[in-house]
């Protein structure tokens, strides 16, 4: 399967997931509206200091998104089989089924990211101490090289949530499967990821233009917040499904895990 083919098919998959799309839209729109109204009732100075409520809500939002990720990936996988017609009940089933695994996977990847940031930060900090320019330059080069290597290995883990759901693997096995697949198809996975991000940015740009026009016309108030929340919620919902579908379609087809697989050119 070619990269552009996967992206093209993702639009079709998104069109078949209207109930899931509606759920994600409501979830994102309500969250955006609540946050915008909260921020509008606080001064700029207060907004810079997150309250306990905002921290709690943000944590709950992240935890909810783990459930949503499992549900979306599971539904996309089911939709690849023409004989199956997944519903919101299936969305909830997959969200619950893969919740703990995806949560653990996310924690591992986040820990890896934080470790990279810490190591690179320490190397740069050591290089900035004192006035030895040669040492500083050498440590800077080492830090950049380490960062490049770390980013490469983090990218190899990029598809771990997808391998976990599509192949129904454990956490460690999904990491190994992602590394093996991405390493074997590095450039195509990179191209696919870049293209779907560009498509998402294009959709977001169009929504941003509409939001800007609404901002010019209404200045501020609940109506503007409502319009912004609706547009942002719609974009987030559609982009979430679009990106998930493109990556699942490509991985399932190339790895041979798709029902009724087509001939692939990987």
CA distance 128 to 130: 6
Query: According to the model, what pLDDT value does residue 261 have?
Result: 43
Number of domains comprising the chain: 1
- pTM, two decimal places: 0.83
Say if 262 falls within a structural domain. Answer: no
Residues whose CB falls within 8 Å of the CB of residue 250, separated by 6 or more in sequence, listed in order: 1, 3, 6, 188, 189, 192
CA distance 3 to 191: 7
- Which tokens belong to 189? 């996975």
Say if 265 falls within a structural domain. Answer: no
Q: In percent, how much of the chain has pLDDT > 90?
A: 40
33 to 52, 64, 121, 168, 203: CA distances (angstroms)? 19, 17, 36, 35, 20
Say if 247 falls within a structural domain. Answer: yes
The mean pLDDT of the chain is: 84
Q: Is the dihedral of CA 200, 64, 15, 169 positive or negative?
A: positive
Say if 213 falls within a structural domain. Answer: yes
Say if 173 falls within a structural domain. Answer: yes
Residue entry with tokens 């209404």: 218
264 compared with 244, residue with greater pLDDT: 244
Residues 122-133 as b/e (b if ≥16 CB within 10 A, e otherwise) read ebbeebeeeeee
Average pLDDT over residues 145-169: 91
Tens of pLDDT, residues 28-82: 888 888 877 777 666 544 545 566 777 888 889 899 999 999 999 999 998 887 7
Say if 260 falls within a structural domain. Answer: no
Say if 264 falls within a structural domain. Answer: no
- Which tokens belong to 132? 């030895």
Say if 201 falls within a structural domain. Answer: yes
Structural domain containing residue 22: 3-255
């Amino acid at each position: 399967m070619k990269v552009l083919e996967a992206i093209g098919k993702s639009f079709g998959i998104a069109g078949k997931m209207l109930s899931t799309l509606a759920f994600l839209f409501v979830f994102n729109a309500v969250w955006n509206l609540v946050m915008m109204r909260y921020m509008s009732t606080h001064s700029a100075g207060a907004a810079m200091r997150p309250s306990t409520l905002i921290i709690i809500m943000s944590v709950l939002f992240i935890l909810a998104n783990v459930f949503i990720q499992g549900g979306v990936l599971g539904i996309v996988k089911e939709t690849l089989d023409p004989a199956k017609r997944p519903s919101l009940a299936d969305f909830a089933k997959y969200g619950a089924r893969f919740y703990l695994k995806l949560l653990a996977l996310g924690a591992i990847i986040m820990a890896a990211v934080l470790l990279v940031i810490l190591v690179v930060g320490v190397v740069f900090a050591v290089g900035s101490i004192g006035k030895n320019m040669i040492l500083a330059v050498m440590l800077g080069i080492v830090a950049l090289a380490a960062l490049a290597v770390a980013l490469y290995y983090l990218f190899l883990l990029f598809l771990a949530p997808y391998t976990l759901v599509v192949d129904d693997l454990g956490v460690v096995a999904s990491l190994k499967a992602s590394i093996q697949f991405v390493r074997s198809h590095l450039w195509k996975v990179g191209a696919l990821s870049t293209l779907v991000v560009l498509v998402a940015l294009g959709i977001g740009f169009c929504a941003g233009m509409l939001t800007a026009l609404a901002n010019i016309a209404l200045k501020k108030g609940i109506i503007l917040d409502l319009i912004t929340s609706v547009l942002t919620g719609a974009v987030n919902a559609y982009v979430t499904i679009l990106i998930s579908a493109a990556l699942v379609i490509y991985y399932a087809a190339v790895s041979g895990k798709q029902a009724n697989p087509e001939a692939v050119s990987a």
